[in-house]
Structure 1
Amino acid sequence: MNKTDRLYHITTLLRARRRITLAELQAETGASRATLMRDLAWLRDGLNHPIHWERDAQCYQWRASDRAEDAPEEVAGLWFRPSEVLALLTLDQLLRDIQPGDLMQRHLRPLEQRLKKMLRQAGLDGTAERQLGERIRVIGLAQRPVPPQSFETVGLALSQRRRLAMHYQARGNGEHSERTVSPQRLVYYRSNWLLDAWCHERDELRSFSLDAIRRPVVLSEAATDVSPKELDQTLGNGYGIFSGKAVQWATLRFTPERARWVAAEQWHPQQKGEWDAQGHWVLQIPYSDDRELVMDILRHTPEVEVLEPAGLRERVLEKMREGLVRWGAVS
């Protein structure tokens, strides 16, 4: 029985029986007298568990108090198994990866400190935590840093259900504009932050890249609320970040070599896939705007073919021809 399991078992026994002898604890855990003495001292002095030695009865007693301020400190990390400790370290790495700047670091630092305390109680000192943490790497590709002030202001408008005024530069055409929006939800997608919001200038739902938002201001007007169902119908039916209720279906066929990878991937929650007789993976995915889909198809070229619709197939071919011209392969 490892230390984590043993400490959990000791606490469970004491709470259930209220009184237990050292000999009974040895029989239950298989641990030595010296090990159990150290465990009991740690539970009592380190975690403030109400464990008392009854000299006359020669047993340990659990004396729980009804007062909240006297309640023992429950540290969940104490009960983590090794695999769960690894998951906790991964969570710590993810927290660091998604933090958009110094302001959010200050807000999330208490949570990080709590995680580290849980790790210590799980038996990892600073050196062990660092060494194990070095074996976990979270890589965020193509991350675009978000100005900390933008993230905090957007989050404030979202939580307070207020409208947000902002200056925005569209990535697609470089257009600058002043917008007033009603924030609906924050989305972390492909290592970047997006804001789904009702745009009062365009009178429709839009997704905005947080890194392209400048000079955000929370307004006094209440935000217009959009139902989750409408959000999903408008922004969730299409492919990637591009919205639209009018959905088409693309059919892609991957070579057997590439299929070994793609067949295990989720490109869209509503996708459909099947193997054909030649070992190709035939993938069907819905989309309303082909921009991001075309980029992903090109990423897998030449191991993928667009079977339908014809318009999407021609769009991908057009991009291929443009690339060949730019590279000087054709004139």
Structure 2
Amino acid sequence: MPPKSLAKLKKTTAEPPVARGLAAKAARPPLVRMVRIHEALTAEKYPNCSTMARDLEVTTKTIQRDIEFMRDQLALPIEYEPVERGYYYAASVAQFPMVTVSQGELVALLVAQKAVEQYKGTPFERPLNAAFDKLVSSLGEEENISLHELSEAVSFRTTGVPHGQIATFEVLADAVMKHQRVEFDYISMTAKTSERRSVEPYHLPCIGNQWYLIGYDRNRNGIRTFALPRIQGARNLGKTFEKPEDFSVADMLEGSFSAFQAGKTETVRLSFTQAVARLVEERQWHKSQKIRTMPGGKLELSMKVGIAPDLIAWILGWGGEVEVLDPLSLREKVRKTGQEIAGKNF
């Protein structure tokens, strides 16, 4: 049977645009052209590049590329008939090949699209939406309608989303893939001015909605972690390097609570009040965590991590609902930071 008509494909674009890249993008121009070519082939009209280019108001080269894509990438049996001066299907084609996804895959695709929304208003928004549009454009009509309906049921709300640095990300990603050295100006959290760094980039992790670069800092003679928003003027030097075979991001961040590289790890024990016990229990904060219910509805969380600023900030975020039991050094750091906060606000 021929595919659903172009009119039906266009129907999805009339749906309310809940999110860019969903139903409103059901019929991208390349897909529409190829569906029209398929319909002409199925009707045995022997279409050629000139007639289809005129009907679709594009160039003959565009139609030629579409036909080559349909034949080479979609494996459609398109042949040219010299007598008819047009193309035809050399074998029966039931329907135009569309990407078919299960309900679970559809939900996963939706979640991915919703997660992209947190970058709205940043330089990452346009390339992320473009990539998602390409994925959705390959879905059939039913999948697009279902995706639109599901989008009403799921949403993301994030705070503290970092400003995107798409140009910096592109330079660093290219250097990571090609194993090429980079240079950039970097300002650390405590510094007042930036410093020029020469780095052999190893990896680009996204931790807590923040992008980082992990690499060998030639200025510091050691592996360091750099936050992308604090990187300026990054450029690829085009000089290749050999990444150590034993380098592992998992091993490097083994004892980290979040993004800060930890040296010595210690067993951290925290006591949470009954008021937040359930909130703490519902999430995995670290893969080494262990949870124990205490008398009075309290909860004890223990994990083996390094003592770093991100851990201290997380503990302080619970306010008076948490108490540091061990180690004493961490308890003292939290107490001192708490006093500093109180002194500035009272």
1:122 aligns with 2:143: yes
Q: State the match for 1:263 in structure 2.
A: 281
Greater mean alpha carbon deviation, residues 189-198 or residues 167-176: 167-176
Q: CA deviation at 1:95?
A: 3.2
Secondary structure of the residue that 2:256 maps to in structure 1?
Answer: coil
SS of aligned partner of 2:176: helix
2:102 is aligned with what amino acid?
F
**CA positional deviation for 1:103:** 6.9
Alignment deviations for residues 36-69 of structure 1 (CA, whole Å, 9 cap, x no partner) = xxxxxxxxx89969xx9xxxxxxxxxxxx99933
How many residue pairs match? The answer is 266
Tell me the SS of whatever aligns to 1:205: strand
1:69 is aligned to 76
TM-superposed CA distance for 1:143, in Å, is 1.4
Whether the 8 Å CA contact 1:237–1:245 is kept in 2: the answer is yes
Report matched runs for 1:184-263 at 5 Å.
184-227=202-245, 230-263=248-281
Give the counterpart letter for 2:305 in structure 1: Y
CA positional deviation for 1:276: 2.4
- 8 A contact 2:255–2:304 mirrored in 1: yes
Note if 1:80 corresponds to 2:69: no
| Compared CA separation, residues 262 and 195, structure 1 to 2 (3 A) | same
For the aligned residue pairs, the C-alpha RMSD in angstroms reads 3.2
Q: For the residues of structure 1 that align with 2:319 and 2:118, how far apart are their CA atoms? A: 30
Matching residue of 2:133? 112
Taking the aligned partners of 1:253 and 1:278, their CA distance within structure 2 comes to 12
Cα shift at 1:84: 4.3
1:128-174 Cα deviation digits (max 9, x unpaired): 82x65354322232112122211111111011111111111112434
1:203 shift after superposition: 1.4
Structure 1 residue aligned with 2:331, among 313, 319, 324? 313
Change (3 A) 1:140 1:186: farther
Q: What's 1:157 paired with?
A: 175
Unaligned segments of structure 1, at least 5 residues: 1-6, 8-44, 53-64
The Cα shift of 1:240 comes to 1.3
TM-score by length of 2: 0.67
Q: Distance in 2 between matches of 1:87 and 1:285?
A: 31
Q: Which has the higher contact order (CA 8 A, sep 6+)?
A: 2
